[in-house]
Amino acid sequence: MHRDWIILAGLALGVTVTNGFARFAYGLILPSMRAELGWSYAQAGWLNTANAMGYIAGAILTMSLIGRIPPARLFAFGLLTTTLSLLATGLVPALGWQTFWRIAAGLFGAMSFSTAGALTAGLFANEPRKNALAIAILFGSGGGLGIVLAGASIPPMLGLQGDEAWPWAWVMVGSASLLMTPPGLWAAWHLRNLGGRAARPAPLPIGRMLPEYAGYASFGLGYIVYLTFLSAWMREQAANPMQIALTWVLLGSCITVSPFLWRGIFARFAGGTPLAMILSGIAIGSALPVLWATQTGLIASAFVFGLCVFMAPGAVTNFTRQNLPPEAWARAISLFTVVFAFAQTAGPYAAGWIGDFAGSIGVSLLVVATLLLTGAVLSLLQRPLPATGKNL
């Protein structure tokens, strides 16, 4: 049993790379890149849209490969190639180069991220509460650790070295990823026989899962705007590097402990209630920096947003485990990832365009808060699937 927790730690470090670093460290580096390279908000948002486009390709590719290639192999390959993509991002400042490697990080990161959930769902198979905690830890503590480390190191370094040092921030992120890759590969090796080749893919009751998919789409569309532009908003408000660092460390710390807040809710509800609660919290956290534009408001925002944001993948993974047979888990989670990837593609660029048009990125934060609340309402419509759904 202790071995399962060690394996979970390896998988969580993989999520630190593919989620905490590959997708969210950019929000900390963006203000310096924008200032040094003379980008508009729309150009800055484009790079995360490019990352999301790669994520779409990776999610679709993973879904097509599930059933032919064991999830552990896809996880390991995605983790290794994401790490190499992060290292390469700091080498050349040209927008075309940056776009290529952000796409690559999204493509390979999706491959590793979506299979991590399926692999974790197989741990503690006969202990629902431990399984729910493991799923929450994977997404919460794994991603949160990346944000804590990036938040504690990148703003102070850029504050000391200046905006022109942004390539070194990517080198720092890539080097940290290199250290975390071996434990992730070890965990994948120990799960190499889990969810292997299947004679035919298990069918999914997609029609009965539409409210959950709709809620998860709103999550993809809304959450990424906050994590992309939070530092830019803080710089608009004349925040110094230490204030930015402290806010991100608090954000990441709350993400890291969030599994222990949500594990009981995941174990109790098999329908859309957990996702609805999470989306409501993310909406409140997104709006607070604008509605309460003080350091206290930012702290409250980071606290609420952090306790909720990375639990959305955990909610849909837990929903999948409670309502579908094991042979359908990998495909269901991959489909959730595809829906999420398409939704998050529009978020950063659209939010950047709105910020340019309005003259402040804060307007975009209010828009996405409204979208997230709409998703919460839709998620409440999701009911547990009939018992027959487990024997498709």
Query: Based on the number of CB atoms within 10 Å of its own CB, is 224 exposed (0-12), middle (13-18) or buried (19 or more)?
Result: buried
- Which range has the top average pLDDT, 160-174, 185-199, 251-265? 160-174
- Is 230 domain-assigned? yes
The three-state secondary structure class of 195 is coil
Mean pLDDT of 210-216: 94
pLDDT digits (tens, 9 = 90+) for 269-328: 889 999 999 999 999 999 998 888 788 888 899 999 999 988 898 899 889 888 988 778
What proportion of the chain, given as a percentage, has pLDDT over 70? Answer: 95
Q: What is the pLDDT of residue 200?
A: 55
Per-residue HEC secondary structure of 281-331 comes to HHHHHHHHHHHCCCHHHHHHHHHHHHHHCCHHHHHHHHHHHHHCCHHHHHH
Here the CATH number for the domain that contains residue 233 is 1.20.1250.20
What band does 7 get if pLDDT is binned at 50, 70 and 90? very high
Residue that the structure tokens 């049993």 belong to: 1
**Domain assignment present for 201:** no
User: Which residues span the domain enclosing 225?
Assistant: 2-194+207-391
- Mean pLDDT, the chain, rounded, equals 85
**Model pLDDT, residue 389:** 43
Q: Mean pLDDT throughout 23-40? A: 84
pLDDT at 142: 83
Please check the confidence at residue 136 and state whether its pLDDT lies above 50: yes
Residue 199: its pLDDT value, please? 46
Q: Is residue 246 part of a domain?
A: yes
pLDDT at 202: 60
Q: In Å, what is the CA distance from 282 to each residue of 85, 172, 303, 309, 337?
A: 29, 29, 10, 6, 19
Q: Which pLDDT band, with edges at 50, 70 and 90, does 79 fall under?
A: very high
Count CB atoms within 10 A of the CB of residue 189: 13
pLDDT class of 179 with cuts at 50, 70, 90: very high
Which of 23-27, 226-230, 349-353, 372-376 comes out lowest in average pLDDT? 349-353
Could you tell me if residue 200 is inside a domain?
no
- Asked if residue 199 is part of any domain, the answer here is no
Q: How many domains would you assign to the chain?
A: 1
Planar angle of CA 10, 115, 249, nearest 5 degrees: 55
Residue positions counted in the chain: 392
